Amino acid sequence: MKALNLNESIIKQGLEEIITEERLNSLLKEGRRLKAYIGVEPSGLFTIGWMIWARKFKDLIDSGIESILLQATWHAWINDKLGGDMENIRMCATYIEHCLEALGVPRNSYRTVYADELVSSKDYWSLVLKIAKALTLNRVKRALTIMGRKSDEAVMDFSKLIYPCMQVADIFYLDLDLCLGGMDQRRAHVLAIETADKLNKKKPVALHTPILIGLAGLGRMEGSVKGEAIYEFKMSKSKPETALLIHDEEDEIEKKIMKAYCPAKMVENNPILEICRLILFSEPDFTLKIERKTHHGGDIEVEDYRELEDLYFKGELHPLDLKKAVFMALNERLKPVRKYFEHTAEAYELYNRLKSLTITR
């Protein structure tokens, strides 16, 4: 067990939103050991976008917070992930734990709970029904975005409507103080906050990480896309041509990045700059080394993301030079991951089995 080290700045860093910061501050002042979780659908290969929540999960662990990885196996089954094959979903769950280990989050630093364990409890299902009783049908349908689905997709099968109630039940059943997730999980967390008083349950604080957009950017959409709405454009393994996996080889990373949407002088919703902001510069003491071959001014080293953004906005950094620098830095960041999977037999086997499944489906 890690010593309690509730460093407020570490807990809050890298978050897009806290619901609410006032309640979080109150919790931190209590001085007790808090309990947090991240719920993850075992749904396929690990993209670099998942590195964002993995990093935040590690922050919570390092702060001495009791941290739980909920392997949402039944949720993935309801959501038709990996063909709805529970054996493959459970295999993917073990693979995810290896990915976290490869990214510097050891399996012995957090507690893993499988949804299989929760659904075997009559108390859990009693809670699901009480939550469903406290919500309207329209409210539940609006929350289907947490599954990456639109509200009208509930007609596919009724189980889809159970999913949001289960996710709220997960939070109450595990008696959590903090709920970690991407902005795409916002609606489920808000449901938990809104129903807590009705059911006499602990009201959780929601910690939301930003979402990494796919390499195709936002297309021709004008203006900015903020908050949970951006989930439609997030980097997804279901769109392999616009997603970077933590397993991608050097040439594959280079090829994808060089094809990525990255207009000159555009800083908002630029996927290459977002990789810098959310992945590369989230590492302590990171410096981006840039060879400016297509622009006068010589090579530079950038230690602060805002400085990089300013250079790009002013046109002092060419898109090709930026892409080359990002490719090299990201490749360096992923070397330990490749090494881990090459030298860990179970991890290597699981990765290859999962890769084969995702290619054939």
In order, the DSSP letters of 16-65 are SEEETHHHHHHHHHH-SPPEEEEEE---SSPBTTHHHHHHHHHHHHHTT-
Output the six-digit token pair for 95.
Answer: 């693979």
Rounded CA-CA distance 69/114 in Å is: 8
The answer to whether the beta carbons of residues 54 and 85 sit under 8 Å apart is no
From residue 53, alpha-carbon distances to 252, 278, 319, 341, 359 in Å are: 24, 10, 27, 20, 25
Nearest to 126 by CA among 160, 154, 165: 165
CATH of domain 227-339: 1.10.240.10
* Helix/strand/coil for 281: coil
| Delimiting residues of CATH 3.40.50.620 domain(s) in the chain | 8-209
φ, ψ at 64 (rounded to 5°): 85, 10
- Quickly count: other Cβ atoms within 10 Å of residue 95's Cβ: 22
| Delimiting residues of CATH 1.10.240.10 domain(s) in the chain | 227-339
**Amino acid 232: pLDDT:** 59
pLDDT in tens, 35-68: 999 999 999 999 999 999 999 999 999 999 999 9
**Amino acid 220: pLDDT:** 47
**Amino acid 146: pLDDT:** 62
Rounded CA-CA distance 285/287 in Å is: 7
Amino acid in position 118: L
Residues 6+ apart with CB under 8 A from 323: 257, 258, 260, 262, 272
Please state whether the predicted TM-score (pTM) of the whole model is above 0.75. yes
The answer as to CATH 3.40.50.620 being correct for domain 8-209 is yes
Enclosing H/E stretch for 71 = strand 66-71
Helical pair 86-102 and 345-360, crossing angle rounded to 10 deg: 130
Rounded CA-CA distance 12/19 in Å is: 11
Residue numbers in the chain where pLDDT is lower than 70: 1-6, 146-156, 219-232, 237-238, 240, 294-296, 359-361
